[in-house]
Structure 1
């Protein structure tokens, strides 16, 4: 951790407390560095910990314009804060170095990193990659935008780090040199934070900078690097790419560079998006020593993540799935595509805060696969306007009750909101839990 010696005499400000900020503060303190702590909120989460464990730190809570950010040498900023925030932009223009916790991690870490971003599927891919590596005998750490903050991982004795990274984290990261990195897919999201869609794409693609192996989605041109690179590349896709799906001996298989590697049925969870996620994992982990037996064990034991096409139950031969994590249009399209049958057998519950995204891309999928689209929340009317199959309700309970009425034997009811949950819930987990609660009340 030689880099830490280089910054010990710098004036460092941790901007944004919360979970990430508090993790940064704890790490710096453990290395003998006393940072300033700044947050725009008068009473931010984590302030009680500071009072108890680091009461001597200089703090400023409130208007950032009064925080003297331009007077410090370095700001370590939480991903929830935009670099365009006036006081932050002024500090940057004044020559203050602004980084995130992932960048600080990258400057210190010497072990291999598997880095994953994308609009959808990140958490499933990193969790499955973690399980496969663990099964293969690696000492592996999982963190970033999921689970543990990256700086908290540095104390452990690990062989490899698997990191889920959001575009917000990538915006303040320049030094990450991943062993393998992927942009799983890109669809409109967070347009309330970026100037335009291309700026969001550019943020995602920055994960490739310095990576040894680029894993690209053969079915999504937006995931391909914008400029020529000397790094190795492999691809995954539904029917094309180095890693793809194909029929072999009348059974669907994961194909690896021309070899029928394992039957798709090896994977404990179903859905085309889960099969594509598995292909991405295989490509990402190709630099590591992992046998077919390791994959077979890990895939057969992987039950997926809560709120991600999670099977809830069955009532009157109708299956109910919770995909509350589908917080954007691309995720909802993936869920519909994965669960759709030959008939229009899906009753989809959607709605919430679309955050300025264009919902029109949903239209052909609704027309082809969806029997009824039940909507509630801030942008429900925009969703209902997409189709003559739309129904407007006021809350989850009403939506589930209507879904029960409209569905018949063989149908699937899917919560896939295509929107953020912040208009009515604290987070997507609470929304998913509400759906599960409402469904279970209907079950015998």
Structure 2
């Protein structure tokens, strides 16, 4: 950790005291570095821990304009804060280096890294990759935008790191070297944060910088690197790419470079999106020593993640799925497309904060696959306006009650909001739990 010795005498500010910021503070303290801690909130969530474990640190909580950020040498910023915040812009213009925790990790780490970004499917892909590597005998760490902050992983003796990275994290990362990296897919999201959709795409594509192997989505040209690179490229897709799906002996298979590698039935969870995620994992892990037997074991034991097309139950012949993690239009399209193959009559519950996204993309999928679209939340009226099948409600309880009334045996009720949850919930997990509770109420 030679880099840490180089910065020990620098004036370092940790900006943001949420989960990520607290992880940064803990790590710096473990390296005998005493950071200046700043948060725009008067009472940030990590302040109690700070008062108990590091009361000696200088802090500033409140208006960032009064935080003297331009006087420090380096700011390590939490991903929830925009680089366009006036006080941060002022510091950058004054010559202050602004990085994120992933960038600090990158400057310290020397072990192999598998990195994943994309608008949808990131958490599922990194979790499955983690399980496959673990099954193959690797000491593997999982972190980033899922579960554990990256700096908290550095005190473990790991062979490989599997990281989920958001566009916000990539915006403050420049030095990350990866064994393999992918952009799974790109659809409109976070347009309240970026100047344009292209700026969001560029942020995602930056994950390829420093990658030894690039994994691209053959079905989504937006995931392809803009500049030419000498790094080897592998692709995955539904019917094209080095890793794709095809029929073999009257059964759908995962195809690896035209070899029928494994039947899709080897995977415990179903749905086209899950099959594509599995193909992405196979491509990402191609540089590692993993056998077909390892895949058979890991795929058979993988039951998916909560709030990602999670099967809630079947009541009166109606199936209920919780895809609260579908916080953007692309994720909702993927959920509808995946379930529509087996379930012709979908009752979809959607709504929340669309974050400026173009909801019109949903129209053809609603017309083709959806029996009723039930909406609530901040942008519910915009969703209802998409189709004559739209219904406006006030909350989840009303939405689920109406879904039960409109569905009949053989139908599927799908929560796939196409929106963020922040208008009515603390996070998508709370929204998903609310859906499950409303579904089970009076049915169990």
TM over 0.5: yes
Is the CA contact (8 Å cut-off) linking 2:103 and 2:175 kept in structure 1?
A: yes
User: Secondary structure in 2 aligned to 1:212?
Assistant: strand
Q: Show structure 2 runs of 5+ residues with no match.
A: none
- Misfit runs of 4+, over 3 Å: 341-344
Residue 306 (structure 2) aligns with: 306
Residue 88 (structure 1) aligns with: 88
Residue 136 (structure 2) aligns with: 136
Is the CA contact (8 Å cut-off) linking 2:16 and 2:38 kept in structure 1?
A: yes
User: Secondary structure in 1 aligned to 2:441?
Assistant: helix
Residue 127 (structure 2) aligns with: 127
Matched, 1:221 2:221: yes
For 1:209 and 1:35, the matched residues in 2 are separated by 29
Residue 18 (structure 2) aligns with: 18
For 2:258 and 2:47, the matched residues in 1 are separated by 56
User: Secondary structure in 2 aligned to 1:203?
Assistant: helix
User: Secondary structure in 1 aligned to 2:10?
Assistant: coil
For 2:233 and 2:393, the matched residues in 1 are separated by 47
CA RMSD of aligned residues (A): 0.8
Deviations 1:333-384 (A, max 9, x none): 0000000047741000000010111100000000010011000111000000
Matched, 1:253 2:253: yes
- Structure 2 counterparts to residues 348-367 of structure 1, below 5 A: 348-367=348-367
Q: Give 1:50 deviation, angstroms.
A: 1.1
Q: Give 1:432 deviation, angstroms.
A: 0.3
Is the CA contact (8 Å cut-off) linking 2:238 and 2:245 kept in structure 1?
A: yes
Deviations 1:170-217 (A, max 9, x none): 000000011000000000000000000000000000000010000000
Q: Show structure 1 runs of 5+ residues with no match.
A: none
The number of residues matched between the two structures is 444
Residue 32 (structure 1) aligns with: 32
Residue 2 (structure 1) aligns with: 2
Deviations 1:258-302 (A, max 9, x none): 100000000000110000000000000000000000000000000
- Structure 2 counterparts to residues 376-415 of structure 1, below 5 A: 376-415=376-415
Matched, 1:172 2:148: no
For 1:266 and 1:299, the matched residues in 2 are separated by 6
For 1:426 and 1:13, the matched residues in 2 are separated by 28
Is the CA contact (8 Å cut-off) linking 1:314 and 1:443 kept in structure 2?
A: no
- Structure 2 counterparts to residues 338-349 of structure 1, below 5 A: 338-341=338-341, 344-349=344-349
Return 359-368 or 343-352, whichever deviates more.
343-352
- Structure 2 counterparts to residues 310-321 of structure 1, below 5 A: 310-321=310-321
Q: TM-score if structure 2 supplies the norm length? A: 0.99
Q: Give 1:53 deviation, angstroms.
A: 1.1
